[in-house]
Chain A
Amino acid sequence: MRRGGSTGRGGWFPAWFWPSFAAPAAIWLLLFFVLPFYVVLSVAFGTLDQIFLTAKPVYNPAMWDVTTLRGVVSNMFTSGSIEQETLLRTLAYVGMATAACLLIGYPVAYFIARHARRTKAFFLIAFIAPFWISYMMRMFAWVNLLQPDGYVNRALTGLGILGEPRLWLNGKPSTVIFGLIYGYVPFMILPLYGTLDRIERSTVEASRDLGAGQIRTFTRVTLPLSRQGILAGCIIVALPMFGDYFTQTLLASTRQTAMFGNLIVASIESSLVNTGASLVILMLLLLILPMLYYLRSTNVARELAQR
């Protein structure tokens, strides 16, 4: 073996060969995450042009001014502040929408993985199909469906469920949560399906052979084995939901329904750009926590599987 290289069934490789496979991803991350995030930091800790009130990023960390970030953090802990109200509201929306996505997505994924058999491909395509249409267009479609004389109101009044058309689009939290569920539920189904499909049938059959009923087999075998899929699905839908602003803008657009993403966009589009950048930093810190939990959980699961 030559120094610095490695041998194997594939022959000799120089020391840089395998690590170089990570280069595209590393360059991508550097250019499109690290660098932009550094600019966000420089804006958050920077100043404003005194004529145009536009951002003047300060790129030298030694000259960073944390006054704005400190103010935003302080507002987060001030009862009744717009930052705290919006954050709590967003957490509630995301929590409810994620739970609903799980409740809807799990049975669907279970059905496809366990019972669809020959129609599995059909159902998978059917659930992926919404991805072919842009998120914005799908939300626009709901604007028309939910309008006062739209099909939803017509159907509900026609069936006698509603006495008169309901104003779904006039700043109702339920409409925003519904929009989030509709927009993100396919992202929940796919990881759940992947996990459930990999569960060995023999494991389930062993449980049944040992006397466990259907419900007990599900709660003691299938559900624990699909834990990683549930976690992945929840992370995949909750993280983008937290930064979502478009759903609220289209389906509600009121003070009472504004989400954290709306607050960031509104700040960045105005002269409160330092505040907007500070909100981005706080959101990132907040979202890192579930992401770290997921990574830790994945590592633990992998270690357990290797024992």
Chain B
Amino acid sequence: MSHPKDRSPGLDRREFMRRAAAAGIAIPSLGAILAACGSSEPTTTSGDGSASEGLQLARPDSPVTLSIADDNPAIADGLDPEAGPLKIFGYNDYIWKKVRNQFGDSFGGIDIEYTVFDTPDEMVAKMQSNGSDFDLLVTVTLENIGKLAQGGLLQPLNYSYLPNVESNLATGIPDFYDVGRQYSVPYVIFTTGVAWRNDLISDDIAAMDNPYDIYWDTTYEGETHLLNGSRDMIAVGLLRKGYDPNESDPTILDEVKQDLLEGADSMRWKFDHVDYTELSASQWKIHNTWSGQMAYYQYYLPKGLDITSLSYAWPPRGAGGQKGLVSHDLFAIPKGAASPVLAHEMINFMYEPKNAIANYSYEGYQPTVASFDEEAATTDGALPESLVYIIVTPEMIPMGVTELELEPAVNQLYQQIYQEVTGGA
């Protein structure tokens, strides 16, 4: 036998054919092995539905009561909390570590593991593959709660563990997407609007007839950022024209796509949701953003920049009274969670006013507890005049519109438009 080093590096034709045949046999076998590892069956659902039966699209005028399957009941009353750890899955820093630790200490020092996701799409994908790895989901966006529940990935809540929710949930927060809040409890409420540097821009965006036009104002070419994510970006185009943010008409969507393409070319928009970290690099003058995000700004201000240099406009409050987005994120508990009692207790803990306010002081998104005093937050000087609209008051909720679940085909169309407008950027 020759030393491998002495062999010809090439293959003769016969050898090539022999190896190709072997590979031909191996590849289908590989497929069988992989198929065995994953599920090739359609997604099972809770209740009486199946994936092929489609989704019930919840709308304010068409509320949805999510079904509860016999094999997926809520946990029984009166169970002792588990020994932990409590595994939370949520946006980065969505529950302050100090608050998490306080909860852990109040339950005998249990460990709390916090796993982060970046986008709702990522959360859905991970819930689908490993949902039972987590005990508590923070946060579910409204457009995802129906599919997660109907897809059998969540367990119903047992309100006997949630007395604080019963007594402290703020009024006026709708539940048409989950009537009776069987699977979800609101966590934070926020609006989506325009943030701008008033020290660099003389225009009063809030006073504009159509504040969305500012995103197309070429004076600020290269200095205007939009939120990344198909729903928020396309909503800017839809709302500018007065359409609903859940529009499904392909003609309207095409019209809006053309506007967005024109804006992307003429404005050289950047797409991101880290407006607060970009403050130090003075990268933008105008940013589409979430109201809760702006509370972070105080921690990221560069030397010489004062918080009063930043303004926020929510179009329904502006001179033109354009439509604007208001929404809330939800708590939910995955089906198969190892520590469901602890998860319930954590939700209940977050509904204690002092814990909710402590958490708010750090992470900036407004809690949905009744004791949160919106008026005091805006009048006691804690917020500069230019930022008072980051607080969501009860009368603002009916003024706004909300991004809701779409038909899968429409959702695909939104993704394609987003891809075309951003080019993947």
Contacts and interface: CB of A to CB of B under 8 A. Distances in A.
A266 interface: yes
- Counting chain B residues whose Cβ lies within 8 A of the other chain, the interface size class is 35 or more
B422 A255 contact: yes
A264 B150 CA distance: 30
B27 A38 contact: yes
Contact of A42 (B34, B55, B222, B223): B34
B147 A51 contact: yes
Contacts of B34: 35, 38-39, 42, 57, 59
Q: Output the residue of B40, B150, B272 with the most chain A CB within 10 A.
A: B40
Contacts of A207: none
Nearest to A54: B125
A252 B45 contact: no
A61 B27 CA distance: 8
Given A39-B34, A50-B408, A266 B270 contact: no
Interface in B1-52: 1-4, 9, 27-28, 30-32, 34-35, 38, 40, 42-43, 45, 51-52
Given A58-B40, A171-B222, A269-B119, A52 B125 contact: yes
A144 B281 contact: yes
B268 interface: yes
B265 interface: yes
Contacts of B381: none
B45 A51 contact: yes
Contacts of B27: 38, 61
Contact of B270 (A5, A15, A170, A245): A170
A256 B422 CA distance: 9
Contact of B423 (A48, A52, A82, A150): A82
B283 interface: yes
A18 interface: yes
B70 to A, nearest CB: 20
B285 to A, nearest CB: 10
Contacts of A222: none
B270 A254 contact: yes
Contact of B43 (A18, A51, A167, A170): A51
A107 to B, nearest CB: 33
Contacts of B32: 59-60
Interface string B56-100: 000000000000000000000000000000000000000000000
Given A52-B43, A52-B128, A82-B420, A18 B122 contact: no
Contacts of A150: 281
A18 B4 contact: yes
B269 A254 contact: yes
A249 interface: yes
Contacts of A61: 27-28, 31
B151 to A, nearest CB: 5
Given A53-B408, A82-B419, A266-B422, A171 B270 contact: yes
Contacts of B2: 6
Nearest to B422: A255
A245 B38 CA distance: 29
A154 interface: no
B424 interface: yes
Interface string B390-410: 000000000000000000100
Contacts of B147: 51-52
A272 B423 CA distance: 13
Interface in B371-415: 408, 411-412, 415
Interface string B195-236: 000000000000000000000000001110000001000000
Nearest to B10: A299
B337 to A, nearest CB: 19
Nearest to B50: A51
A169 B150 contact: no
A255 B261 CA distance: 9
A259 B151 CA distance: 35
B80 to A, nearest CB: 34
A56 B3 contact: no
Interface in B266-293: 268-272, 280-283
16 contacts: A21-B4, A49-B51, A50-B51, A51-B55, A51-B408, A54-B128, A59-B40, A82-B420, A147-B283, A253-B270, A255-B268, A255-B422, A258-B424, A267-B419, A270-B415, A272-B415
Given A171-B222, A270-B230, 10 more contacts: A8-B3, A51-B147, A52-B43, A52-B128, A59-B38, A170-B221, A254-B425, A256-B423, A258-B425, A270-B415
